[in-house]
């Protein structure tokens, strides 16, 4: 039987390469997401540290106030607490911004997954088409070979008939 060459083989190869590229992109996006999540943990840790510091200083102010400490010392502690509150606000904003970065990275991962799924589906469709086409082509070749065999058999039969007629005469 003749070798059957799929006419869309190059297209199938290109689509397979695109799937591989999409897998690489997805892997990169997942790595980026992991890095962003790690940054978020670090920023949250810094914020929590500042928050704990603020709580400690607030508690210290309450203790000092209850002992009726001098007014300048209490004023100094209140001013310092305002500075710590501002720093806490800055850290909260950093956390919020980093959470936005994480959400954006998650969105990109989802988009990459959808793109990969779409490209895999294209390859699967083309593979199914290749299988169907190969089966159909094999049947066509089988029919052609059967016709050729019939013609060959008919030719041989007619040749024998003529030789038998010639020998009888």
CATH number at 132 reads: 1.10.287.1700
Count of beta carbons in the 10 Å neighbourhood of residue 47: 20
Tell me the pLDDT tens digit for each residue of 35-69: 999 999 999 999 999 999 999 988 988 887 777 66
How far is residue 106 from each of residues 2, 37, 52, 140, 168, measured CA to CA in Å?
51, 10, 30, 51, 92
Q: Residue 167 has what pLDDT?
A: 77
The sign of the dihedral angle between the CA atoms of 73, 75, 76, 81 is positive
Quote the number of domains for the chain: 1
Within-domain flag for 137: yes
Distance from C-alpha of 23 to C-alpha of 118, rounded to nearest angstrom: 12
Structural domain including 26 reads: 9-168
Within-domain flag for 38: yes
Within-domain flag for 72: yes
Q: Can you tell me which residue has the tokens 């980026």?
A: 32
Q: Residue 68 has what pLDDT?
A: 66
Within-domain flag for 160: yes
Within-domain flag for 141: yes
Q: Residue 72 has what pLDDT?
A: 81
Within-domain flag for 77: yes
Within-domain flag for 105: yes
| Residue pair 95/39 in contact by the 8 Å Cβ criterion | no
Q: Residue 49 has what pLDDT?
A: 96
What does pLDDT average to in each consecutive run of 10 residues of the chain (169 residues)?
78 95 97 97 96 92 76 84 94 96 97 97 95 92 89 82 77
For the entire predicted model, the pTM comes to: 0.71
Within-domain flag for 4: no
Give buried/exposed letters for 94-128 (b at 16+ CB in 10 A, else e).
bbeebeebbeebeebbeebeebbeebbebbeebee
Distance from C-alpha of 42 to C-alpha of 165, rounded to nearest angstrom: 103
């Amino acid at each position: 039987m003749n070798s059957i060459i799929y006419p869309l083989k190059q297209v199938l190869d290109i689509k397979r390469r695109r799937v591989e590229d999409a897998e690489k992109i997805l892997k990169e996006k997942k790595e980026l997401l992991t890095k962003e999540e790690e940054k978020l943990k670090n920023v949250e840790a810094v914020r929590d540290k500042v928050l704990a510091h603020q709580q400690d200083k607030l508690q210290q102010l309450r203790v000092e106030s209850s002992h009726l400490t001098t007014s300048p010392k209490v004023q100094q502690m209140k001013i310092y607490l305002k500075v710590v509150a501002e720093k806490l606000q800055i850290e909260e904003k950093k956390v919020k911004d980093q959470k936005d970065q994480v959400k954006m990275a998650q969105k990109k991962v989802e988009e990459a997954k959808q793109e990969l799924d779409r490209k895999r589906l294209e390859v699967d469709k083309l593979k199914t088409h290749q299988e169907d086409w190969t089966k159909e082509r094999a049947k066509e070749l089988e029919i052609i070979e059967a016709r050729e065999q019939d013609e060959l058999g008919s030719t041989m039969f007619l040749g024998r008939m003529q030789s038998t007629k010639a020998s009888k005469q």
